[in-house]
Amino acid sequence: QSALTQPPSASGSPGQSVTISCTGTNSDVGGYNYVSWYQQHPGKAPKLMIYEVSKRPSGVPDRFSGSKSGNTASLTVSGLQAEDEADYYCSSYAGSKVIFGGGTKLTVL
Partner 1 sequence: EVQLVESGGGLVQPGGSLRLSCVASGFTFSRDWMTWVRQAPGQGLEWVANIKPDGSEKYYVDSVKGRFTISRDNAKSSLYLQVNSLTAEDTAVYYCAREAAVAFDIWGHGTMVTVSS
Instruction: Label residue 14 exposed, middle or buried (CB < 10 Å: 0-12, 13-18, 19+).
Output: exposed
Cβ proximity to partner 1: between 3 and 10 the closer is 3
Smallest gap from residue 66 Cβ to partner 1 (A): 11
* SS3 of the chain: CCCEECCCEEEECCCCCEEEEEECCCCCCCCCCCEEEEEECCCCCCEEEEECCCECCCCCCCCEEEEEECCEEEEEECCCCHHHCEEEEEEEECCCCEEEECCEEEEEC
Smallest gap from residue 57 Cβ to partner 1 (A): 6
Smallest gap from residue 15 Cβ to partner 1 (A): 29
Given 12, 77, 101, 106, the residue binding partner 1 (CB under 8 A): 101
Q: Which stretch binds partner 1 (CB under 8 A): 12-20, 28-36, 65-73, 78-86?
A: 28-36
Smallest gap from residue 71 Cβ to partner 1 (A): 17
- The residue ranges that bind partner 1 (CB under 8 A) are 1, 3, 32, 34, 36, 38, 40, 45-48, 51-52, 57, 89, 91, 93, 96-103
